[in-house]
């Protein structure tokens, strides 16, 4: 005799279809893709900010990704493969996130009313994350398409010319705020949801996480703004020769 089935029949559950595991799987996939993208963005910001050390250093990082130091020549296609992987992650993450957006006017109203009634900080953070995520649908696609199709046009002058002469800086400025807020809140929410780094006292753990979140967001915003300013300055100074690629100091012909 199967006592579990009998018990289920006793409380009227036997006829119910088994609950699907897909919502849980999708939630997990959303968290995992968000975590990978968040970690990627930290790396991305450090690589891009290599320009703050020197043009030669940024050139070296760029060439490293193009396989120059392994194969003795550049293969920008390697960068395209990395970009394609990031793009797929972004599409998957956005697709999964769309399930959580209010879908019609009534749902928007209900959410707005709950948000006002609760006055809860983390609910407001969710709202900021939804708005910045929506913005990134558009902003990130433009950037990733450019990187996918022109991976060879990354470098101290190539990037600075795009930022200044190509007038990409307004897009980067808006995208920087969107991605840092979105990523910072996202990683914080992941830690809260899966119980990471919380310690024994949940209230104190939450305060610690909130502090870490704002500290990281502030750090990457400042780093991003200073980096963007550096590209704008180099691009401005190089505007008359826009399109001319950077040649590292040790390869330049003596003057």
Q: Counting every residue, how long is the chain?
A: 255
Q: Beta strands of the chain (E only): which ranges?
A: none
Residue 243: CB atoms within 10 Å: 11
* Residue 220 C-alpha from the chain's centroid: 12
Residue 42 neighbours by CB under 8 Å, 6+ apart:
220
State yes or no: residue 246 binds ligand HEM (CB under 6 A).
no
Part in contact with ligand HEM (CB under 6 A); list of ranges 27-35, 122-130, 167-175, 242-250: 167-175
Residue nearer to ligand HEM on the CB measure, 112 or 218: 218
Q: Is there binding between residue 44 and ligand HEM (CB under 6 A)?
A: yes
Which one among 75, 123, 126, 143 touches ligand HEM, defined by CB under 6 A? 143
Segment interacting with ligand HEM (CB under 6 A) among 79-87, 109-117, 197-205, 211-219 = 79-87
Tell the smallest beta-carbon distance from residue 217 to ligand HEM (Å): 13
Work out whether 29 is an interface residue with ligand HEM (CB under 6 A): no
Closest distance of CB 53 from ligand HEM, Å: 14
- End-to-end CA, the chain: 93
Three-state secondary structure readout of 21-57: CHHHHHHHHHHHHHHHHHHHHHHHHHHHHHHHCCHHH
Tell me the per-residue interface mask from 211 to 230 with ligand HEM, x by CB under 6 A, - otherwise: -------------x--xx--
Query: Minimum Å distance from CB 74 to ligand HEM?
Result: 14
Q: Does 191 bind ligand HEM (CB under 6 A)?
A: no
Confirm or reject binding of residue 58 to ligand HEM (CB under 6 A): no
The structure tokens listed for 46 are: 């450090």
Taking only Cα atoms into account, the Rg of the chain, rounded to an integer number of angstroms, comes to 24
Distance (Å, rounded) from C-alpha 132 to C-alpha 217? 14
Chain positions contacting ligand HEM, by CB under 6 A: 44, 48, 79, 82-83, 86, 90, 136, 140, 143-144, 147, 154, 159, 162-163, 168, 172, 175-176, 179, 224, 227-228, 231
């Amino acid at each position: 005799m199967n006592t579990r089935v009998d018990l289920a029949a006793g409380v009227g559950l036997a006829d119910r279809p088994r609950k699907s595991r897909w919502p849980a799987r999708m939630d997990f996939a959303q968290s995992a893709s968000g975590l990978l993208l968040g970690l990627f963005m930290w790396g991305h910001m450090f690589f891009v900010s290599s320009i703050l050390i020197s043009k030669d250093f940024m050139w070296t990082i760029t060439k490293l990704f193009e396989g120059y130091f392994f194969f003795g020549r550049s293969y920008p296609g390697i960068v395209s493969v990395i970009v394609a992987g990031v793009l797929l992650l972004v599409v998957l993450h956005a697709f999964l996130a769309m399930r959580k957006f209010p879908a019609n006017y009534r749902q928007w109203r209900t959410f707005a009313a709950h948000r006002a009634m609760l006055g809860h900080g983390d609910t407001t953070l969710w709202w900021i994350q939804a708005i910045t995520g929506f913005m990134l649908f558009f902003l990130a696609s433009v950037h990733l398409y450019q990187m996918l199709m022109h991976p060879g046009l990354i470098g101290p002058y190539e990037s600075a010319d795009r930022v200044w002469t190509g007038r990409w800086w307004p897009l980067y400025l808006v995208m920087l705020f969107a991605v840092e807020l979105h990523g910072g809140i996202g990683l914080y929410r992941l830690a809260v949801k899966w119980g990471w780094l919380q310690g024994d006292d949940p209230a104190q753990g939450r305060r610690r996480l909130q502090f870490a979140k704002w500290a990281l967001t502030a750090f990457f915003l400042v780093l991003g703004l200073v980096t963007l300013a550096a590209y704008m300055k180099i691009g401005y100074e190089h505007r008359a020769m826009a399109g001319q690629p950077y040649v590292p100091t040790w390869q330049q012909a003596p003057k």
